[in-house]
Structure 1
Amino acid sequence: MKATVHHSKKIAQSVVTAILLLFSFYMNAQLKGGHILGAMGLQSGTQAPENTLSVYIPGYIYSASSLRDSNGDKVGNPDITMFITGVGASYVSDFKILGANYGAGILLAGASNTIQGSHTDTKSDFAFTDMYIVPLQLGWHNKRADFVFSYQMYLPTGKYELGASDNSGLGMFMNEFSAGTTVFFNDKKTFHFSVLASYEINGKKKDTDIKTGDILSIEGGLGKTFYSMNAEKTAPKGIFNAGLIYYLQYKVSDDKIPVTNNIFIEPDKDKVAGLGAEVNYLHIKSMTTAGFRWIGEVNAENRFQGNTFFITLAHTFSFKKK
């Protein structure tokens, strides 16, 4: 009888110890959302022209240089570089809803070293990741300003298992709503400022009660458009866009990480800011675009801080009636 009681006490002590260890591990840990910072920059509040289909190949690289605590102080030197690439397409029609052009899009991608949160067990081989779908995008074009509204969702198609170090997805369904504008400071629309706000609502992770908090992301830039003229100086052969870009991201509601059936850990919220540069070029004859973005992060709290690189190659098909 005494042996049974002693054994029960040891089990109880082990459970308490495990809970305390889990609590200390997650107290400053943060769960990542699906929104990819840096995917939007100059003219982020502008929809593509109507009756066009754009097919693109993105290259996203995020290199974490430090881990920051709730005071923004450096507490670690991670060696993590996350990489995403794939094939995407977006279409803008001449169909009108509330005076706006209707558009839609999709991205099928793979990822390596998928970052799940603010801990460092994220090494994984390149594999199919979560699918990104835009079933609704509305765009308005005015003389001095463009506006855009969209709904996008992330489907948990990538591999996910709680505690695994080789996950390629986040294991949760995500809804996101975005709205933004691009303001033009001159009649030729060559000097512009943009802002796009996105609000992400996350579901529970696969086979768990773990839930990532809602996330607000703000992206945009201040840029200038330049035209490259043909030899005869009669028409442009290319269009350059260059300028400063930025992003901000805030965890709006707490992550919920269950320890027992009735106890949830709610770590401190995280945030980050970034400032960088973008340059892109459209070759008009081939309708091919190449773009590059770099953003250096600052003021991170409860998350990694590093550098974001985004390279895009796209081709646009026009279906305008001649």
Structure 2
Amino acid sequence: MKTSTLSWLVALGASLVVTPALAVNGHYPPGIEGLSAAAAPPEGLYYRGYLLHYDVDRFNDASGDAVPGNNSGSVTALAHRFIWMTGNRFLGADYGMEAIVPMLDIEFDLDIAGGQGFDDDGIGDVFVGPLILGWHGEQWDATFAAGHWFDSADFEAGNPASVGKGYGTTMFTLGGIWHFDAERRWNFSALSRYEIKTEQDVTGITPGDSWLVEWGFGHRLESGLELGLVGYDAWQLEADDGAPTGAKAERHAIGAEAGYLWPTAGVMLKGAVYHEYDAEAGGLKGLESEGDTFRLQLTKFL
């Protein structure tokens, strides 16, 4: 066996304990939010459903180069998010809370692992966010939130398609929207997530902190249809503590989104597609996927 192939297999051994493929060594998958995502909603109870499908085109090493062979896979997720804006105020902001329950179906076919196939499905790690703060101005909105992804799902060591991560993640959110005109037809939004992980018990490795930014530049037509350019950029800021290498993962994507609000029905529907144009692997994962994402987002005002 060639030395280069052996090194990829060793890297894969580290990646077998991490999933899903589309997150940068954390829980939050990029591409979930897009246009106008950084504004907290008005007082009330909301259900938001995310249908996300991610197709892996290839797996990259720490240099961003594709590993050899036919290595593919997919991640399909249906995440149920419940948001309650209480009507109370704190620090001059509207106060709310949230919870997310993801359902995952993950499949990988990896030549780099000797042609093995891996799959798993079920309920993933659950997120509870006791703090949402939303500020609103005439032409701007800002949001801060905090919560924790609990190590609640089944985790299979040695299965890269495991729906559980094997560790918990505390996540902080900060974002804002600027509306360029008084009618709020043109806007730019950016929503960032900072993730701090706990130790993965099976490996004794603590994944490094990571930071992700989802952004969007949108225009709302007179008909109510909103169209725009969206993208995401994610970086692992610290090397994994206890990992064999000091490499840090990152990924970048660009795409397009369309959305429409039916005020009388209390329903908003958005759809987006993203193409990843760069991805590099980190120390714990060993390999990093690069692919395309399709997302549907349904919000219902309850």
Q: Closer, same or farther in 2 for the Cα pair 1:68/1:164, shift >3 Å?
A: closer
Alignment of 1:1-322 (within 5 A): 25-26=10-11, 31=18, 32-49=25-42, 51-76=43-68, 77-113=70-106, 123-164=118-159, 167-228=162-223, 239-257=224-242, 264-302=243-281, 303-317=288-302
Letter paired with 1:60: L
- Which secondary structure state, in structure 2, belongs to the residue aligned with residue 25 of structure 1? helix
Q: Deviations over 1:12-67 (max 9, x none)?
A: xxxxxxxxx78961399665310110111111221112x22111221111111011
- Which secondary structure state, in structure 2, belongs to the residue aligned with residue 157 of structure 1? coil
Letter paired with 2:251: V
Taking the aligned partners of 2:12 and 2:74, their CA distance within structure 1 comes to 24
Q: Deviations over 1:155-190 (max 9, x none)?
A: 111111322455211011100111111011001111
Q: Deviations over 1:254-301 (max 9, x none)?
A: 1234xxxxxx51341111110001111111111111111111001212
CA RMSD, Structure 1 to Structure 2 (Å) = 2.3
Q: Deviations over 1:120-173 (max 9, x none)?
A: 777323211110222101010011211110102111111113224552110111
Letter paired with 2:204: D
Taking the aligned partners of 2:117 and 2:146, their CA distance within structure 1 comes to 29
Q: Tell me the CA shift for residue 250 of structure 1.
A: 0.5
Letter paired with 1:246: G
Corresponding residue of 1:233: none
Question: What is the TM-score of this pair, normalised by structure 2?
Answer: 0.85
State how many pairs are aligned.
277
Question: What is the TM-score of this pair, normalised by structure 1?
Answer: 0.80
Structure 1 segments of 4+ aligned residues over 6 angstroms from their partners? 21-24, 119-122
Segments of structure 1 that go 5 or more residues without pairing to the other structure are 1-20, 229-238, 258-263, 318-322
Taking the aligned partners of 1:23 and 1:36, their CA distance within structure 2 comes to 25
Taking the aligned partners of 2:7 and 2:207, their CA distance within structure 1 comes to 17
CA contact (8 A) 1:161 1:206 kept: no
Letter paired with 1:252: L
Segments of structure 2 that go 5 or more residues without pairing to the other structure are 1-5, 19-24, 282-287
Q: Closer, same or farther in 2 for the Cα pair 1:177/1:130, shift >3 Å?
A: same
CA contact (8 A) 1:291 1:312 kept: yes
Letter paired with 1:87: H
Taking the aligned partners of 1:265 and 1:272, their CA distance within structure 2 comes to 21
- Which secondary structure state, in structure 1, belongs to the residue aligned with residue 119 of structure 2? coil
